[in-house]
Amino acid sequence: MKTHETRRTIIRGWMAPPTDKRETEERIQRIVNAFFFGLTIFSVAFTYFVLSARRKITIRPGTRNFRSFLQHLDSGRLPSRAATK
């Protein structure tokens, strides 16, 4: 029973609003820093994904047709026009 009360006291103290204004600013600054760090990691990972995908796509110089581009991406698994009518 003591562990439950101790745990409850710790959680309430942790969730309580800070008594000092400076402590509030530091807590908010830590949250903002964590957010922007996560955003930076996501941006780097997304950029790596896009650049690696662009490296894999090669389009022949004569093809400017969007459908041929899609067929190239899908390796010919798109339905033909005859099958869609």
> What is the predicted pLDDT for the residue at 14?
76
Nearest to 68, CA basis, from 55, 80, 83:
80
pLDDT at 81: 54
CB-hemisphere CA count at 13 Å for 8? 5
Q: Residue 76 has what pLDDT?
A: 47
Please give the Cα distance from 8 to 10 (Å, whole number). Answer: 5
The pTM of the full predicted model, rounded to 2 decimals, is 0.43
- Report the C-alpha gap between 68 and 76 in whole angstroms: 9
Report the C-alpha gap between 41 and 63 in whole angstroms: 36
User: Residues near 27 by Cβ (< 8 Å), separated by ≥ 6?
Assistant: 18
Give the pLDDT score at 40. 96
pLDDT tens sequence for the chain (85 residues): 578 888 888 888 777 777 777 778 888 899 999 999 999 999 999 999 988 887 777 666 665 666 666 666 666 454 555 555 4
pLDDT recorded at residue 39: 95
Three-state SS at 1 = coil
State the residue for tokens 């005859």.
Answer: 82
